[in-house]
């Protein structure tokens, strides 16, 4: 049997233990372009990863060499992840929606020797980033061809990359299998045996909300310790299936993948973010991890669908929709209680159906979770566990537990993780999950660690009466007005985002006399609002409509009524387009790049203070 009570030394220890215990058990599941479901056992994962690792050795990959991976989340990503570790390499993931300029910075800074791209389009981004740089790289394609929306089939040659410069992942695996057959396991076994806990397993580049990307080194020990700690807190088993849609370039997603390996749970790969609910119906997961927007969208759509269903369903759902956050009064009568229970049953059934019918709980990470959304899930019997972590802390320092969850908090620290709050409220953490530092940036590393080894997160927090951590804001985001008032913008933005219409919010006012806001609207709720009020036009047209402005103005007024006088938003504007990662407005984890937005809309923000409106 597997010993899950002892902390493993390395990620490979976790993987090999799972292969040893259950080689024929299912490890991964996915669906192909034709809708056919496939599965891979732990033993088969091991053999394919070994072949790929041998293929990397055939390419001349040296111990510690960096391997860039530019792909969406898919089963090949997991194969590559283990293969690179077996070969003694260091994976360098790049988010699939990153722009060529960002890709180029990562390539140059990491000094990668191998680049694995999902398809010719992704490979072309690397070429555009630095044509000369990729001349020195071994280039590998997961998919040799890609089909465009027009039906045209594109290869690397159409993007100006010679076919002789590129090989496929399948070809690499075949050559590796042949190498193993000829030379045996000695060379690969030596690389595996040389793996040490303090060895760098991956370099994850931070999204750059506060400037240029920094490569965070995460060691085998960082991941092994964190996986073990999270596994100890959850009731996971080989009977569980997780649905994974988050980009594996994200430390949070890599962590939940490896926690599943530790627990022996099956990982089912969603085809994309857009197909999450369809894939949930297909794979029927028992748990999943997601960013807050997935759960906010679920909250909005489940309530909207039930109210629009008509007849008895709408009537019954209407008894509880919008009231899930209220305390149940002690004096509640029989009829009111019966309505609440019956209405709750209707909502619970729809909520569970949304995720395939077997979901036991979900994780939310990558960005702050709205309190109303958390209450909706908990109030309808589906625990939504929020945690806290950064790339630098291997994605987790705190986590709410099943049966011990504080809505609006990020829970208690993981076993073995220390934390403290400085006088100004800054959160500092210490533990085996914390990075040894930034790649090639000694000065940046020294800035975030003190003499006692505490990592300064830059986030502000407080501890509630039950000992759970509440993150209040980002230290560098604190606004100090011209009157000397210090204001945390995040709580104000989160209050605004409770309304379904409100998407991203930029609160502005540093060294100004009052606060202002730029607000983007969520597309689907905006279109529903337009339909309900008889408005016509596309997204951009609707953002300029007086009825829409009045609705947002009402939201501002409602939030302002809860704020101190110096926190009140005096002026605001609705953006005519949604911020996107493609435009460089959002990080890959869907956080607004505040500095980028402030610079992009500088003229508009300045006008708030110079013009009398």
User: What is the reported pLDDT for 328?
Assistant: 53
| DSSP string for residues in 453-503 | --EEEEEEEEE-TTS-EEEEEEGGG-EE-TT--EE-HHHHHHHHHTSTTEE
Residue whose token pair is 């980028």 = 596
144-185 pLDDT per residue, tens: 998 887 888 888 888 878 888 899 999 999 999 999 988 878
CA dist 24 and 30 (Å) reads: 17
pLDDT band at 327 (very low <50, low <70, confident <90, very high): very low
CA 87 to chain centre: 27
Q: What is the pLDDT of residues 330-364, one digit of tens each?
A: 556 666 667 667 766 778 888 899 999 999 999 99
Count other C-beta atoms under 10 Å from residue 55's C-beta.
25
Pairing state between β 361-364 and 287-290? parallel
Measured between alpha carbons, how far is 613 from 608 in angstroms, rounded to an integer?
8
Side-chain half-sphere exposure of 163, counting CA atoms within 13 A: 6
Distances (CA, A) of 257 to 196, 250, 261, 360, 411: 21, 11, 7, 18, 21
Strands 200-205 and 215-219, bridge-based pairing: antiparallel
Query: How many other CB atoms are there within 10 angstroms of residue 464's CB atom?
Result: 11
89-101 average pLDDT score: 93
Q: How far apart are CA 261 and CA 18, in angstroms?
A: 7
pLDDT of residue 325: 47
Beta carbons within 10 angstroms of residue 428's beta carbon: 20
- Could you tell me the two tokens for 146? 């890609």
Number of Cβ within 10 Å of residue 90's Cβ equals 22
d(CA 93, CA 71): 8
Give dist(CA 470, CA 408) in Å, integer: 7
Q: The pTM is what?
A: 0.85
Alpha-carbon span 336 to 605, nearest angstrom:
49
Look up residue 121 and give its two tokens.
């389009």
Number of helices (H), then strands (E), in the chain: 21, 28
> For the segment 486-525, what is each residue's pLDDT rounded down to a tens digit?
788 888 998 999 899 999 999 999 878 899 999 999 999 9
266: tokens are 């099956």
594 contacts: CB under 8 Å, gap ≥ 6: 209, 477, 506
């Amino acid at each position: 049997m597997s010993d899950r009570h002892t902390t493993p030394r390395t990620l490979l220890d976790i993987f090999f233990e799972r292969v040893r215990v259950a080689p024929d058990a299912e490890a991964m599941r996915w669906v192909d372009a034709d809708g056919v479901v496939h599965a891979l056992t732990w033993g088969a994962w091991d053999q394919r990863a070994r072949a790929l690792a041998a293929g990397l050795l055939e390419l001349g990959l040296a111990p510690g060499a960096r391997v860039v991976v530019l792909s969406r989340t898919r089963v090949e990503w997991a194969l590559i992840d283990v293969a690179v570790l077996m070969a003694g390499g260091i994976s360098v993931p790049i988010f699939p929606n990153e722009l060529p300029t960002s890709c180029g910075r990562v390539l140059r800074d990491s000094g990668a020797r191998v680049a694995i791209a999902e398809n010719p389009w992704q490979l072309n981004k690397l070429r555009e980033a630095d044509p000369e740089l990729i001349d020195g790289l071994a280039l590998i394609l997961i998919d040799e061809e890609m089909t465009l929306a027009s039906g045209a089939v594109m290869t690397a040659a159409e993007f100006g990359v010679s076919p002789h410069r590129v090989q496929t992942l399948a070809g690499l695996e075949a050559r590796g299998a042949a190498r193993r057959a000829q030379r045996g396991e000695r060379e690969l076994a030596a690389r595996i045996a040389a793996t040490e806990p303090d060895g760098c397993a991956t370099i994850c580049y931070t999204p750059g909300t506060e400037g240029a990307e920094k490569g965070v080194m995460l060691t085998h020990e960082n991941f092994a310790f964190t996986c073990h700690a999270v596994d100890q807190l959850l009731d996971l088993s080989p009977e569980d299936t997780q649905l994974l849609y988050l980009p594996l370039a994200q430390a949070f997603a890599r962590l939940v993948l490896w926690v599943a390996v530790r627990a022996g749970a099956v990982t089912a790969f969603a085809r994309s973010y857009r197909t999450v609910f369809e894939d949930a119906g297909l794979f029927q997961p028992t748990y999943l991890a997601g960013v807050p927007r997935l759960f906010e969208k679920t909250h909005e759509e489940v309530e909207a669908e039930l109210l629009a269903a008509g007849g008895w369903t709408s009537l019954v759902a209407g008894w509880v929709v919008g009231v899930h956050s209220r305390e149940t009064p002690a004096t509640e009568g029989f009829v009111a209680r019966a309505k609440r229970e019956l209405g709750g049953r209707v909502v619970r059934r729809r909520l569970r159906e949304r995720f395939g019918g077997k979901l036991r709980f979900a994780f939310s990470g990558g960005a702050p979770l709205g309190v109303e959304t958390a209450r909706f899930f908990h109030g309808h019997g589906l625990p939504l566990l929020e945690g806290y972590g950064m790339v630098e802390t291997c994605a987790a320092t705190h986590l709410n537990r099943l049966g011990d969850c504080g809505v609006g908090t990020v829970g208690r620290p993981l076993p073995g993780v220390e934390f403290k709050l400085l006088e100004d409220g800054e959160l500092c953490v210490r533990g085996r999950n914390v990075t040894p530092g930034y790649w090639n940036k000694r000065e940046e590393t020294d800035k975030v660690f003190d003499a006692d080894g505490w990592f300064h997160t830059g986030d502000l927090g407080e501890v509630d009466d039950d000992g759970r951590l509440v993150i209040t804001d980002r230290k560098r985001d604190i606004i100090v007005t011209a009157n000397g008032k210090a204001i945390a913008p995040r709580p104000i933005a989160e209050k605004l985002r409770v309304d379904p219409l409100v998407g991203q919010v930029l609160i502005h006012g540093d060294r100004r006399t009052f606060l202002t806001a730029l607000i983007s609207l969520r597309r689907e709720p905006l279109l529903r609002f337009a339909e309900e009020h008889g408005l016509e036009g596309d997204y951009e047209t609707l953002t300029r409509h007086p009825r829409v402005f009045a609705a947002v103005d009402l939201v501002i007024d409602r939030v302002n009524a809860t704020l101190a006088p110096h926190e009140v938003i005096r002026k605001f504007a609705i953006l005519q387009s949604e911020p996107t990662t493609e435009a460089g407005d959002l990080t890959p984890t869907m956080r607004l790049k505040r500095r980028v937005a402030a610079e992009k809309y500088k003229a508009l923000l300045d006008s708030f203070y110079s013009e009398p409106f």
